[in-house]
Amino acid sequence: MTVWITGASSGIGEACALRYAELGYRIILTATRADRLKEVAAACRAAGAKAVMALPYDLVEPGGIRHLVRQAWDVYDGIDIVFLNAGISQRTNVEDTSMRMTRTIMEVNYFAPVAIAQTILPMMIKAGGGHIAVTTSIAGRFGFPLRCAYSSSKHALYGYFETLQAEYYDQGIRVTLVCPGRVRTNISLNALDKGGQRHGQMDPGQDGGLAVDKAAQQIVRAIAKCRREVLIGKGELIMVYIKRFFPGLCARLARRIKPM
């Protein structure tokens, strides 16, 4: 079995890669930092991966994505699971979020996963089926302070990938929407701050989040069971259910959430 993971240089992507390595998968790793990918690849080999290949790429650049997909497919002559996990967040309010920042976030979080999925889809169908997993967020279920572009990108993923599943389920395509709440990763450190600068701070909520190795176990298990969606986190996940059944209350609570 072969799995391709984007955003594999740290956090959820790295942890899931190590989990798949323990299960003996062939693994393809993609992220921006080639040096970090080499380290993750070495750790995957040590953990028991059948084979590992690093394919560095910056997903903010749309022009090379189709070629990247063909490269990934040809590494082991097919891909069983693609986990579209790469993403970038923000820590700016609406007034301080430039259109340039919005477009960067949408490019990485939404357009890149869409381009990869659209390119790999016919390959998977021809091969008899495949599994596409994509990292969304509870911020894709309701608006959240200081996340206007990030939340928008995650909302958009739901619309696209739920549609993809509806259209291609009978052709052997399975989709899992991975919806994290607070998981202890570096996403807040790398988030875009005012002026497009790196936020560089570990948010208290993030720091107290679910351990990333536990998140990876839940994600890999959910994909194996072909679950439509999996919520990953702690008590904050209650907001998803509040939004579903009490949307007015959810809106009031969201206004009171400490955004950091």
Find out whether 65 and 73 touch, Cβ atoms under 8 Å. no
Q: For residue 224, what are the contacts with CB-CB under 8 A and spacing of at least 6? A: none
- Is 150 one of the catalytic residues? yes
Rounded distance between C-alpha atoms, residue 241 and residue 149, angstroms = 23
Q: For residue 115, what are the contacts with CB-CB under 8 A and spacing of at least 6? A: 62, 65, 66
Q: Which of 25, 150, 168, 241 is catalytic?
A: 150
What does DSSP say about strands 130-135 and 2-6: parallel, antiparallel, or unpaired? unpaired
Burial of 40 (0-12, 13-18, 19+ CB in 10 A): buried
Which tokens hold the place of 107? Answer: 């490019």
Q: Which residues pair with 176 in a beta bridge?
A: 133
Find out whether 210 and 236 touch, Cβ atoms under 8 Å. no
Which active-site residues does the annotation give?
150
